[in-house]
Amino acid sequence: MSPDATPDPYADPIAFGQRLKILRTRRGMTRSQLGGLMGMSDEWVKALETGRRKVPRLEVMLRLAEVLRVRDLSDLTGDQSAHVALFTGPGHPQLAAVKSAVDAFPVATVREAPPAEHLAARLAHAWAARHKSPEHRTVLGGLLPDLIRDAQVAVRQADRAPDRRAAQATLAEVYSLAQFFVAYQPDAALLWRVAERGLIAAQESEDPHAIGVAAWLAAQAHRDSGPAHFDAADAVNLETLRYLEPLLPDATDDVLAITGALTFEAGYTAARRGETGTAWRYWDQARKLAKRLPDDYYHPITSFSRAIMGAHAVTVAVELHAGGESVRQAARADAITIKSRPRRARHRIEEARAYQLDGQPDVALATLDKAHEAASETIRYNGYAKRIILEEVEARQPERRRRASELAVKLGLLAQ
């Protein structure tokens, strides 16, 4: 290796501090930024990186992994016996089948496309099944391969320009559904392929709702890639909002809702940056858009609605690491009103993060139990839930250790 090359923390037997510095640099973070997100100083980070401070205890290590979006704890510790995937799920049995369908290139296929109405009905059924099932990835894994292939063929076989645009809108929505399945699974390249194809199909459709949904998911993919990608998330998000804004006076409920969802996403990214005022300003703008929707309206993809704004408030407060405010927002939010089981489970996980931030680990574990009841395949793939559980497995209190261990077994973190 060249003396000027950056060591690879995944291959070279280097010290913890060196790993920390490399991973921080790869995320595009300064010592001050990392220290601020940890509630510490840049000198604290420097002391860790230079070896002047000892390797931190487990709860601090897990927090570092969360902030740096480290996929596996051993990548940070260097201890391969501590192999724990944090932000990547275990890989669903149907992942290969979905990947095969995404990768197909149906140029000369003899497969006949189903009627547009039939394809739309199947897609609506798939969304409804996802929202209702606690094992939503398993449900989608069975539906997506044929749905993807048929939507691809429908675009290829559309003869008239209006039919082709409508087929592209359907294909974009199928890719959006696929992104929900692929997210947090161990194939980042596939996730980006799905996101990019969704954006292209949406643009070809010229359908504002399809464009908004594809941008909403692309912004999330960028943001979840770490601080170095926050600007890219904002670029996609804010450009799409500028496109949608002139349409709002006469917009359908679905277009109004995806605009609200995108507005909140801008606040979510701001909260990740630690920009308190900006985060809450976007949240308030999203709440005003939600108030223009009917009381019982739920966006079929994002769950954006009046009811979801309480859950969004919890997320903003948690991302800003405001423990007391997070708990206050959690008390105001009513998870029962969230119709989608995966979205309800995600909200319970955000509540658990709030209680953990506020020094209430027992309540956090009880809340994660509720998340598991709502949608087991949401919590199983969620890095924040894993972090809380792994931290409490090391707790001094026997009862807390027992509850955390039971959850760890449910999630497959520990063998039974």
| 7-26 pLDDT, tens digit each | 454 444 568 888 888 888 87
Distance CA(413)–CA(416), nearest Å, equals: 9
Q: Is residue 256 within 8 Å of 292, Cβ to Cβ?
A: yes
Cβ-Cβ contacts under 8 Å for 71 (sequence gap 6 or more): 85, 86, 87, 88
How much is the pLDDT for 194?
97
Q: Are residues 102 and 202 in the same domain?
A: yes
Distance CA(107)–CA(144), nearest Å, equals: 20
Distance CA(264)–CA(319), nearest Å, equals: 13
pLDDT, tens digit, 9 for 90 and up, residues 212-235: 999 999 999 999 888 889 999 999
How much is the pLDDT for 4?
45
Torsion angle of C-alpha atoms 124, 347, 236, 298, degrees rounded to 10: 40
Q: Is residue 175 part of a domain?
A: yes
Q: How far is CA 169 from CA 41, 174, 190, 206, 208, in A?
A: 48, 9, 20, 8, 9
How much is the pLDDT for 44?
93
Question: Which of 62, 82, 102 is at the close of a domain?
Answer: 82
DSSP string, 239-291: HHHHHHGGGGGG--HHHHHHHHHHHHHHHHHHHHHT-HHHHHHHHHHHHHHHT
- For residue 85, the cross-strand partners are 72
Q: Is residue 271 within 8 Å of 316, Cβ to Cβ?
A: yes
Distance CA(121)–CA(215), nearest Å, equals: 23
How much is the pLDDT for 16?
84
Cβ-Cβ contacts under 8 Å for 287 (sequence gap 6 or more): 309
- HEC string for 172-201: HHHHHHHHHHHCCCCCHHHHHHHHHHHHHH
Q: Are residues 149 and 67 in the same domain?
A: no
Instruction: Tell the residue number behind the tokens 């037997």, with chain if given.
Output: 13
Q: Is residue 42 part of a domain?
A: yes
Q: Is residue 29 part of a domain?
A: yes
Q: Is residue 78 within 8 Å of 16, Cβ to Cβ?
A: yes
Cβ-Cβ contacts under 8 Å for 258 (sequence gap 6 or more): 209, 212, 213, 216, 244, 299, 301, 302, 304
Q: Are residues 43 and 99 in the same domain?
A: no
How much is the pLDDT for 15?
80
How much is the pLDDT for 82?
59
Which amino acid, one-letter code, is at 328? Answer: R
Instruction: Report the domain count for the chain.
Output: 2
Q: Is residue 122 part of a domain?
A: yes
Q: Is residue 279 part of a domain?
A: no
Q: Is residue 346 part of a domain?
A: no
Task: State the CATH number of the domain containing residue 31.
Answer: 1.10.260.40
Q: Is residue 168 part of a domain?
A: yes
Q: Are residues 185 and 97 in the same domain?
A: yes
Q: Are residues 136 and 96 in the same domain?
A: yes
Cβ-Cβ contacts under 8 Å for 64 (sequence gap 6 or more): 20, 38, 56, 70, 76
Distance CA(254)–CA(71), nearest Å, equals: 35
Question: Which of 174, 206, 238 is at the close of a domain?
Answer: 206
Measured in whole angstroms, the distance separating CA 251 from the mean position of its chain's CA atoms is 27
Which amino acid, one-letter code, is at 361? Answer: P
How much is the pLDDT for 26?
78
Q: Is residue 97 within 8 Å of 145, Cβ to Cβ?
A: yes
Q: Are residues 119 and 23 in the same domain?
A: no
Distance CA(93)–CA(404), nearest Å, equals: 26
Which amino acid, one-letter code, is at 400? Answer: R
Q: Are residues 39 and 70 in the same domain?
A: yes
DSSP letter at 221 equals H
pTM of the model: 0.83
Q: Are residues 43 and 143 in the same domain?
A: no
Residue 194 belongs to what domain range?
A: 91-206
Distance CA(411)–CA(376), nearest Å, equals: 8
**How would you write the pLDDT of the chain (416 residues) with one tens digit per residue?**
344 444 454 444 568 888 888 888 877 888 988 988 888 899 999 999 888 888 888 878 888 887 887 777 777 877 655 566 777 777 899 999 999 999 988 776 777 889 999 999 999 999 999 999 999 999 999 999 999 999 999 999 999 999 999 999 999 999 999 999 999 888 889 999 999 999 999 999 999 999 999 999 999 999 988 888 999 999 999 999 999 999 999 999 999 999 999 999 999 999 999 999 999 999 999 999 999 999 999 999 999 999 999 999 999 999 999 989 999 999 988 766 788 999 999 999 999 999 999 999 999 999 999 999 999 999 999 989 988 998 888 888 989 989 998 998 888 876 54
Tokens coding 311: 């859950």
